[in-house]
């Protein structure tokens, strides 16, 4: 979808005006705000105002300071030394120090965060704090993507004095989160809103500008669009409303829009086929699924032209993507031939298809996939779940078919590899190798690419891994998402980095 960008620049004459409340939508309502335990989009959106990470990343994916004010990488690429900001306090008034960072990386996230655990167990030899303002990560071998490991959803800093020695998942602070961010939780009225207020002891002098944030829970898309039109909310985030509403609202006067702020994420939507559930262990069946799904129809009709058809596991907008991979054009007859060649009798199978709990577009996508697979003779039952139920089922590998989309995090070693490495067939996360795909060649190529410092070699390794994965149809890749943010012009300085609206809104202000 081509969206006319109309971002209002902050002119030299404009002076930020403090005060005011910003109203947004969070949908669906997150189960918790503790981003160290839940990295679903709604949790990151609201929780990103409470918790912070060592670094953030620009729209060009260059690392930028956050809780770390500077960093240094040794010539051999094995030692990363971070110097922390001065005078950072937790919301309860305790100082944030290097010990918190060590606890976060060595204890909390290693146990509770599968993506960091994979990185830490593979590459991190030690994390130490030589003094209260310095943290040193020592790697056991080079990892070219390590600098991308420190954004909000990958490495949120956790308060050691709150979580050490506790059961992380049942700690009361999960419901009353304590972070270092510009806003603090005041009230969460389930089913209505999450109310955050200004942190009076925020470590950036004079910030945040805003006094309050409201994340409002509005269950249906039409009502969310009306709330924006009527001024009840100031911002619509990608996915808050249907694609046709995005088209309509972008044409209204006094509405700004942008597709920026997703550069770090570049999400790809795919259909996961559980390889431990017959008949998806058969390659011909997986290939048939790819052929029977019209990805152009999905983008143009179901998603209203927002996005582009996917051709594999790497988003087309990310580095190392190649389109030199096997192709699966929409072809029902070819799909039927592949089913026949597989020896599978589709009528013998009743297959559970788990949708994504993010709105009616995803419901329509599930209905479309059901319709197409039934043309091959399969019996399909759609499972409707809430965010918690979806996360639990995916984490337990309790699905036959399931929609998912995940973030690329600036480098394939961060966001893509985790879905296909055999070492990451570990229950407990919805964003790992949940389909139980195993291929030693893929494991080796991902490892060699991640450890190489030669850009040409890295590109060649990733090109080969894409060819293998697409030939195997490790998943059915559907489309690269595009997210459009809409906001009222009175909201200034909204999208500043490649993290977008998950970024701390400390410098956002309202023109009065």
Res 177: pLDDT: 97
Average pLDDT over residues 79-94: 99
Q: Which CATH number does the domain housing residue 66 bear?
A: 3.90.76.10
Q: Which residues of 347-356 are buried (b: 16+ CB within 10 A; e: fewer)?
A: eebebbbbbb
| Band (456; pLDDT cuts 50, 70, 90) | very high
- Whether residue 168 is contained in a domain is answered as no
Shared domain for 473 and 415, answered yes or no, is yes
Shared domain for 110 and 134, answered yes or no, is yes
Average pLDDT over residues 108-117: 92
Shared domain for 446 and 399, answered yes or no, is yes
> Which domain range does residue 388 map to?
268-480
- Whether residue 167 is contained in a domain is answered as no
Shared domain for 215 and 316, answered yes or no, is no
pLDDT over 50 at 133, yes or no: yes
Res 397: pLDDT: 98
Res 13: pLDDT: 56
Q: Which CATH number does the domain housing residue 406 bear?
A: 3.10.105.10
Lowest mean pLDDT across 203-212, 398-407, 422-431, 489-498: 422-431
- Tally of structural domains, the chain: 3
- Whether residue 352 is contained in a domain is answered as yes
DSSP state, residue 343: T
Average pLDDT over residues 68-95: 98
Average pLDDT over residues 229-238: 95
Res 217: pLDDT: 98
- Whether residue 103 is contained in a domain is answered as yes
- Whether residue 176 is contained in a domain is answered as no
Res 2: pLDDT: 39
Average pLDDT over residues 157-181: 97
Res 7: pLDDT: 42
CB-CB contact of 397 with 434 (8 Å): yes
User: pLDDT digit string (tens) for 311-356?
Assistant: 999 999 888 999 999 999 999 999 999 999 999 999 999 999 999 9
Distance (Å, rounded) from C-alpha 294 to C-alpha 284? 18
Shared domain for 243 and 140, answered yes or no, is no
% helix / strand / coil in the chain, to the nearest 5?
Answer: 30, 20, 50
User: pLDDT digit string (tens) for 25-64?
Assistant: 999 999 999 999 999 899 999 999 999 999 999 999 999 9
Shared domain for 14 and 30, answered yes or no, is yes
Q: How many CA atoms lie within 13 A of 194 on its CB side?
A: 26
Question: What percent of the chain lies above the pLDDT cut of 70?
Answer: 97
Phi-psi region of 375 (alpha: psi -120 to 50; beta: other; left: phi over 0): alpha
Cβ contacts of 256 within 8 Å, gap of 6 or more: 6, 7, 8, 486, 487, 488, 489, 491
Shared domain for 327 and 443, answered yes or no, is yes
- Whether residue 139 is contained in a domain is answered as yes
Give me the residues paired with residue 350 across strands. Answer: 379
At residue 447, what are phi and psi to the nearest 5 degrees? -65, -45
Question: What percent of the chain lies above the pLDDT cut of 90?
Answer: 90
* pTM, 2 dp: 0.87
Shared domain for 92 and 125, answered yes or no, is yes
Pairing mode of beta strands 476-480, 268-273: antiparallel
User: pLDDT digit string (tens) for 249-271?
Assistant: 999 999 999 999 999 999 999 99
Shared domain for 314 and 433, answered yes or no, is yes
Q: Which CATH number does the domain housing residue 230 bear?
A: 3.40.190.10
Res 8: pLDDT: 40
- Whether residue 199 is contained in a domain is answered as yes
Mean pLDDT value across the chain: 95
- Whether residue 294 is contained in a domain is answered as yes
Of residues 253 and 96, more confidently modeled: 96
Distance (Å, rounded) from C-alpha 462 to C-alpha 145? 13
Shared domain for 140 and 210, answered yes or no, is no
Shared domain for 123 and 35, answered yes or no, is no
Average pLDDT over residues 425-436: 93
Shared domain for 421 and 331, answered yes or no, is yes
Distance (Å, rounded) from C-alpha 130 to C-alpha 109? 21
CB-CB contact of 259 with 483 (8 Å): yes
């Amino acid at each position: 979808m081509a969206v006319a960008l109309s971002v209002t620049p902050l002119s030299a004459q404009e002076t930020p005006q403090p005060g005011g409340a910003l109203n947004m939508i969070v949908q669906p309502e997150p189960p918790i705000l503790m981003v160290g335990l839940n990295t679903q989009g709604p949790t990151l959106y609201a929780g990103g105002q409470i918790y912070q990470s060592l670094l953030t990343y620009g729209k060009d994916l260059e690392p930028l300071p956050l809780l770390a004010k500077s960093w240094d990488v040794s010539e051999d690429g094995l030692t990363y030394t971070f110097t922390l900001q001065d005078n950072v306090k937790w919301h309860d008034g305790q100082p944030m120090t290097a010990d918190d960072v060590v606890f976060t990386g060595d204890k909390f996230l290693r146990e509770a965060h599968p993506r960091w655990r994979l990185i830490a167990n593979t590459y991190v030899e030690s994390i130490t704090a030589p003094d209260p303002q310095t943290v040193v990560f020592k790697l056991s071998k080079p990892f070219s993507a390590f600098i991308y490991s420190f954004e909000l959803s990958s490495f949120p800093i956790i308060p050691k004095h709150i979580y050490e020695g506790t059961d992380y998942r049942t700690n009361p602070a999960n419901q009353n989160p304590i972070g270092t961010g510009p806003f603090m939780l005041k009230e969460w009225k389930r089913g209505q809103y999450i109310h955050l207020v200004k942190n009076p002891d925020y470590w950036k002098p004079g910030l945040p500008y805003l006094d309050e944030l409201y994340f409002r829970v509005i269950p249906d898309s039409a009502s969310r669009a009306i709330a924006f039109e009527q001024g009840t909310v100031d911002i619509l985030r990608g996915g808050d409303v249907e694609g046709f509403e995005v088209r309509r609202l972008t044409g209204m006067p006094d509405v700004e829009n942008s597709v920026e702020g997703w550069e770090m994420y570049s999400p790809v939507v795919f259909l996961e086929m559980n390889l431990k559930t017959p008949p998806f262990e058969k390659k011909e069946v997986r290939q048939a699924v790819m052929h029977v799904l019209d990805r152009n129809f999905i983008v143009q009709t179901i998603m209203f032209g927002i996005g582009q058809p996917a051709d594999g596991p790497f988003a087309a907008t990310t580095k190392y993507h190649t389109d030199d991979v096997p192709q699966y054009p929409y072809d029902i007859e070819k799909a039927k031939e592949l089913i026949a060649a597989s020896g599978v009798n589709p009528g013998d199978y009743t297959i559970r298809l788990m949708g994504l709990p993010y709105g009616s577009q995803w419901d329509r996508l599930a209905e479309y996939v059901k319709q197409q697979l039934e043309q091959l003779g399969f019996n399909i039952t759609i499972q409707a779940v809430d965010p918690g139920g979806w996360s639990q089922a995916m984490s337990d590998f309790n699905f036959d078919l399931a929609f998912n989309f995940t973030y690329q995090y600036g480098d394939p070693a961060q966001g893509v590899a985790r879905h296909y490495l055999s070492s990451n067939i570990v229950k407990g996360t919805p964003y790992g190798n949940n389909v139980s795909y195993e291929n030693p060649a893929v494991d080796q190529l991902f490892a060699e690419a991640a450890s190489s410092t030669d850009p040409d070699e890295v590109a060649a390794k990733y090109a080969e891994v894409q060819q293998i994965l697409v030939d195997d149809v490790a998943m059915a890749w559907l489309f690269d998402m595009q997210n459009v943010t809409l906001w009222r012009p009175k909201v200034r300085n909204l999208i500043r980095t490649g993290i977008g609206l998950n970024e701390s809104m400390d410098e956002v202000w309202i023109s009065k």
